[in-house]
Amino acid sequence: MKLITKLGIFAFVVLLLAAPPTLKSYGIYLFTYWLIYVIATMGLNLTVGYAGQKSLGHAAFFGIGAYTVAIMMQAGISFWLALPTAMLGCFVVGLILGFPALRVQAIYLAFATLGFNTAVWLVLRNEEWLTGGTFGINGIARPNFFGLALDDALPYYYFVLVVTVIMAGLLWGLLASPWGKAFKALRDNPIRAESLGINIQAYTLLSFAIGAVYAGVAGALFASLVQFIEPAPFAVHASILMYLMVVVGGPGYFFGPVVGAAVGVLLPEWLRFAQAWYMFVFGSAVVLLMLWLPDGLLSIPERLRAKRLAREASAARAAAAAAVPTQAQQGAQ
Amino acid sequence: MTDFLQLLFSGAATGSIYALAALGFTLLWQASGTINFAQGEFVMLPAFMMLGGMAMGLPLPVAFIATCVVAVFVLGWAFKRGIADPLFKYGMMPIVVATIGLAIAMRNGVRAGYSAEAHPFPYLFGEKLFNIAGVTITSGDVGTLVMALALVLATQGFLQKTVTGRAMQAVAQNTESATVLGINVPRMIFYTFAINALLACAAALLVTPVYLAKFDMGESLGNKAFFAAIIGGFNNSRGALLGGVIVGVAENLAAAYISPAYKDAVALVLFMVVILFKPQGLMGFKEVRKV
Amino acid sequence: MTAPLLKVTDLQKSYGAIRAVAGVSFEVMPGEIFGVIGPNGSGKTTMFNSVLGQITPEAGSIELNGRDITGLNPRQLNQRGVGRTFQTLQVFGKMTVRDNLIVAAQEHHGSMFSRMFAPGDSGLGGKADALIDQFHIKHVAHKKAGELSYGQQKLVDIAMAFMSDPDLVLLDEPCAGVNPSLVGGISSLLKELNGKQKANGKASSFIVIEHNMDFVMDLCHRIMVMVEGQVMAIGTPDEIRANKQVLDAYLGN
């Protein structure tokens, strides 16, 4: 690994560990918020970036995770029981959402997931007896970690950081195993994959289900972070924003979600100085980013390398051409 | 029964507006594989352009013509050259995200640059009420239905009966063969983008009087256009009209007979049913996956 | 008499009024290289795709090692020892060449669940490297498959079919679009792979569709000629070359 990469990673780790204590509570809240979206986006990156599926309904699982934890904790059940329940629920619903993916392709699948998201959001908004409807659920507590209270901003941040690292580690392990190659084969060429004995149906369903679990975990953490939830953050526009985060970061790059979530969550905050125009600038920035880097921000190293190789190749060609004597010179001899 | 017919008629009128947006959306997809997530905003912007024109003293018809011209340039040519062309070869993801960004930019640009409030818009067809056999219908609905239907049929006619239209269809079905036959493919694709821009202007003219001009009017309209396009058949332009009318009518009936809260759900349910059982849409044809 | 590896009996498939495959029967013996030739539209590809589970035939049966495999899907067929290459290149463009080969066989090792915990190359690294050496693509083994030249990708495509030690490999126009200087190389490779005993002591059989007559005559043990959905002749290369009907219909003078 190059020295500059090592330095960069070191600086990043230092930032994650040492910066928050220096920030005011809103700053710590932003960092926590960003990490939560990193987890959710990691899941979507698996479904969309590694397995090549189309999913514009990811925020629905985010919502299912958040509401499951909120409702269960209101009923007196501990966070540590609610979280696995949310994960299991999201896994099952994710499998179910995978079934249309077996029958419809690409753009139709995108719309099907969009429809699914709207359906979930409608239930969250209308079924007041369960979800509190538009009034939402209030007073969600923060969990206790072996007796250690996580009520304050900074302890909760470190807790979320630990969960993020664990989830990232599990995903890394999964992608490094044969499953990773199977997902990529499914993405790059499902017909060939099938003829090589890869069970594309199973991997398709699992890519949705595992992605959903990640969103569910993120949702659970989100509920305890904001401590009041209502249906708005789980509607279609949130799914679209998550999709944006995956593509802007770089689909199929492991650290894409880290960058993408930063763009989606932190950039609008940073743009607030532009006041009423800040979302306009954000939208325009996304368009320009896509035109410049269609493969996402993390494709920059590859593009630089490709340019360098192209330059070297044409330099080599020029040198070879110069070394060959011209016709005139040969004729004169 | 009269209530039902009233709902049916006004639903069909609203649905015909969705059909205009859906038709443009479908044509763009067929001709160039562009998924335009900013389609709703493509209707919102002309609405505000016309408002701006009228605020400067132009009468509505003049403002409309001027808007059409600007729209063809901005939403047609500039959109194609600036966004669709460069991203075409990278697959679906970048263009989806780019049009998402475009929608956000357009929505918030209008909000910050013009106004965050809802503005009234003049009724094109007056506000008379007719009573036919006990069923009350408005002149607005009649006018909308007639005009939208005329536009859709005119577009269909153009595509099927004129040389240019047939060339555009050839490009949509097989771009490589079309090039070999000497068809100017980029120009045909531009015409598609231009038609989309014009249909969006017409939709703006028809829908804004009812729903008022607001920076976020494009969101729900865009959604309805997607649903209508899919229900009708994404690879068949005739389907857009059917899909639009179905969505418009279903919404109205659902709001009246089931519950206003689940009004959006009906179009959604129809959409899910179509996606699962006939993904190519009610009038679409199956797309074969070649080995 | 040894039992045939593959037995196709009275295969039929129509597309509307067109009878693409109108009653085709043949056998492929273990270790044999079986060529299929014929004019365009003779039903070769339809027959091929029926055997490979890509299309379901209307009538007829297909048996592999005595067991009926008619109507199984491509994944099931692959698990039973049938491999294939594609006429149009079908490699995994964004994965390295080596990973392409590994993924080509990894689903034959362990179960879905056990593979979650298996090492990244499923223990297939050695085999992949051996095939890479045999196919002379060592210098590009770590590049992304999509970055290779057409001929190199073709070699990867063929190598992938052999990673799982299949009993039967169907090759769909392995020389299509390939530089003539490479054709001889492909022919030698296929002979090597055919001659080599697999881990279980059995030799693998090939079915090859090709239009390059020199290639087919040199490589195949027996050749089947298909015309208009039916079998015109089956025999050794010499027999086919001497067959008057075949010469009139297809090979010319």
Which residues in chain C have Cβ-Cβ distances shorter than 8 Å to A195? 52, 74-75, 77-78, 83-84
How many other CB atoms are found less than 10 A from the CB of residue C191?
A: 14
No. of helices (H) and no. of strands (E), chain B: 13, 2
Q: What local confidence, expressed as pLDDT, does residue C199 receive?
A: 63
With beta carbons less than 8 A apart as the criterion, state whether C207 and C190 touch: no
Closest CB to B268 among A119, A248, A278: A119
How many other CB atoms are found less than 10 A from the CB of residue A71?
A: 20
Say yes or no: A177 contacts chain C, CB-CB below 8 A: yes
How many other CB atoms are found less than 10 A from the CB of residue A3?
A: 7
Q: Is the CA virtual torsion C139, C145, C150, C154 positive or negative?
A: positive
Residue A185 has pLDDT above 60, yes or no: yes
Which residues in chain B have Cβ-Cβ distances shorter than 8 Å to C49? 291
For residue C23, which phi and psi values (nearest 5 degrees)?
Answer: 85, 75
For A90, the domain range is 25-311
Give the SS3 label for residue C62. strand
- Asked whether the beta carbons of residue A243 and residue B96 sit closer than 8 angstroms, the reply is yes
Residue A283's nearest CA partner among A322, A319, A248 is A248
Which residues in chain B have Cβ-Cβ distances shorter than 8 Å to C45? none
Higher pLDDT pick, C107 / A38:
A38
CA distances from residue A165 to A23, A85, C83, C128, C181 in whole angstroms, order as listed: 21, 21, 41, 33, 53
Q: Which helix (H) or strand (E) holds C82?
A: strand C82-84
Residue C98's nearest CA partner among C132, C122, C123 is C132
No. of helices (H) and no. of strands (E), chain A: 16, 2
Q: Is the CA virtual torsion A229, A234, A235, A241 positive or negative?
A: positive
Distance from CA of C124 to the nearest CA of A (A): 11
Q: What local confidence, expressed as pLDDT, does residue B291 receive?
A: 37
Which residues of chain C approach chain B closer than 8 Å at the C-beta? 49, 54, 86
Distance from CA of B225 to the nearest CA of A (A): 12
Say yes or no: A189 contacts chain C, CB-CB below 8 A: yes
User: Which parts of B3-123 are beta strand (E)?
Assistant: none
User: B231: alpha, beta or left, given left = phi > 0 and alpha = psi -120 to 50?
Assistant: alpha
Instruction: Delineate the domains of chain C, giving CATH numbers in brackets.
Output: 1-81+165-253 (3.40.50.300), 89-160 (no CATH)
Domain boundaries, chain B: 12-217
Closest residue, chain A, to B104 (C-alpha): A283
Q: What local confidence, expressed as pLDDT, does residue B288 receive?
A: 52
How many other CB atoms are found less than 10 A from the CB of residue C119?
A: 11
Distance from CA of C157 to the nearest CA of B (A): 15
Q: Per-residue pLDDT for chain B (291 aa), expressed as one digit of tens each?
A: 778 888 888 889 889 999 999 999 888 888 888 889 999 999 999 999 999 998 888 888 899 999 999 999 999 999 999 999 999 888 888 988 999 999 999 999 999 888 888 888 888 777 778 777 777 788 888 888 889 889 988 998 888 888 888 888 888 877 778 888 888 888 888 999 999 999 999 999 999 988 888 998 998 888 888 889 888 887 777 788 889 999 999 888 888 887 777 777 777 788 878 877 777 778 776 665 443
Residue ranges of alpha helices (H) inside B33-59 are 39-55
Assigned domain for A206 exists: yes
Q: What local confidence, expressed as pLDDT, does residue A33 receive?
A: 95
Q: Is A201 exposed, middle or buried (0-12, 13-18, 19+ CB in 10 A)?
A: middle
Task: Name the β-bridge partners of B45.
Answer: none
Distance from CA of C160 to the nearest CA of A (A): 8
Distance from CA of A137 to the nearest CA of B (A): 20
CA distance C175 to C180: 8
Residue ranges of alpha helices (H) inside chain C are 44-51, 74-79, 97-103, 112-115, 125-134, 150-162, 180-195, 213-219, 237-242, 244-246
Residue C76 has pLDDT above 60, yes or no: yes
Closest residue, chain C, to A171 (C-alpha): C116
Amino acid at A101: A
CA distance C20 to C23: 10
Residue B224's nearest CA partner among B252, B248, B196 is B248
Say yes or no: A229 contacts chain C, CB-CB below 8 A: no
Query: pTM value?
Result: 0.87
Distance from CA of C134 to the nearest CA of B (A): 28
Closest residue, chain B, to A281 (C-alpha): B105
Which residues in chain B have Cβ-Cβ distances shorter than 8 Å to A277? 108-109, 112-113
> Helix, strand, coil proportions of chain C in percent (round to 5)?
35, 25, 40
Distance from CA of C60 to the nearest CA of A (A): 22
How many other CB atoms are found less than 10 A from the CB of residue A276?
A: 11
| Token representation of residue C238 | 């010499």
Residue A330 has pLDDT above 70, yes or no: no
Q: What local confidence, expressed as pLDDT, does residue B286 receive?
A: 65
Which residues in chain A have Cβ-Cβ distances shorter than 8 Å to C111? none
Which residues in chain B have Cβ-Cβ distances shorter than 8 Å to A282? 101, 104-105, 108
User: Which parts of chain B are beta strand (E)?
Assistant: 129-132, 135-138
Residue B145's nearest CA partner among B248, B286, B265, B237 is B248
Where residue A178 falls among pLDDT bands split at 50, 70, 90?
very high
Assigned domain for A268 exists: yes
Closest residue, chain B, to C87 (C-alpha): B291
Query: DSSP labels for A229-292?
Result: B-SGGGSHHHHHHHHHHHHHH-TT-TTHHHHHHIIIIIHHHHGGGGGGGHHHHHHHHHHHHHHH
Q: Is the CA virtual torsion C233, C236, C241, C243 positive or negative?
A: negative
Closest CB to A195 among C78, C95, C109: C78
Q: Is C172 exposed, middle or buried (0-12, 13-18, 19+ CB in 10 A)?
A: buried
Which residues in chain A have Cβ-Cβ distances shorter than 8 Å to B109? 277, 280, 283
Q: What local confidence, expressed as pLDDT, does residue B70 receive?
A: 95
CATH number, residue A236: 1.10.3470
CA distance C191 to C186: 9
Residue A286 has pLDDT above 60, yes or no: yes
- Mean per-residue pLDDT for A239-251? 93
Q: Is C137 exposed, middle or buried (0-12, 13-18, 19+ CB in 10 A)?
A: buried
Residue C197 has pLDDT above 80, yes or no: no
CA distance A56 to A113: 5
Higher pLDDT pick, A85 / B133:
A85
Give the SS3 label for residue A150. coil
How many other CB atoms are found less than 10 A from the CB of residue C66?
A: 9
CA distances from residue B176 to A107, B190, C87 in whole angstroms, order as listed: 22, 17, 20
Which residues in chain C have Cβ-Cβ distances shorter than 8 Å to A198? 75, 103, 107
| Token representation of residue B32 | 């160039």
Q: Which residues are CB-neighbours of B51 under 8 A, at least 6 positions away?
A: B119, B121, B213
pLDDT per position as a tens digit, A16-28: 888 888 888 888 9
CA distance A326 to C248: 54
With beta carbons less than 8 A apart as the criterion, state whether B239 and B281 touch: yes
Q: What percent of chain C has pLDDT over 70?
A: 96
Complex ipTM: 0.86
- Asked whether the beta carbons of residue B100 and residue A286 sit closer than 8 angstroms, the reply is yes
Residue ranges of alpha helices (H) inside C147-243 are 150-162, 180-195, 213-219, 237-242
pLDDT per position as a tens digit, C136-195: 888 988 888 988 988 899 999 999 998 888 899 999 999 888 888 888 888 988 998 888
CA distance A209 to A187: 16
- Asked whether the beta carbons of residue B90 and residue A104 sit closer than 8 angstroms, the reply is no
CA distance A201 to A213: 19
Q: What local confidence, expressed as pLDDT, does residue B289 receive?
A: 43
With beta carbons less than 8 A apart as the criterion, state whether A197 and A186 touch: no
Residue A207 has pLDDT above 90, yes or no: yes
Q: What local confidence, expressed as pLDDT, does residue B290 receive?
A: 40
| B185-211 helix and B217-232 helix, angle to the nearest 10 degrees | 120
- Mean per-residue pLDDT for A247-264? 93
How many other CB atoms are found less than 10 A from the CB of residue C88?
A: 11
Give the SS3 label for residue B71. helix
With beta carbons less than 8 A apart as the criterion, state whether C94 and C144 touch: yes
With beta carbons less than 8 A apart as the criterion, state whether A223 and A25 touch: no
Which residues in chain A have Cβ-Cβ distances shorter than 8 Å to C74? 194-195
Q: Which residues are CB-neighbours of C209 under 8 A, at least 6 positions away?
A: C35, C36, C37, C44, C45, C48, C170, C171, C172, C173
* Terminal alpha carbon distance of chain A: 53
| Token representation of residue C150 | 């057409």
| C180-195 helix and C125-134 helix, angle to the nearest 10 degrees | 130
Give the number of domains in chain A.
1
How many other CB atoms are found less than 10 A from the CB of residue C12?
A: 16
- Mean per-residue pLDDT for A146-156? 83
Question: Which position has the token pair 């607030």?
Answer: A272
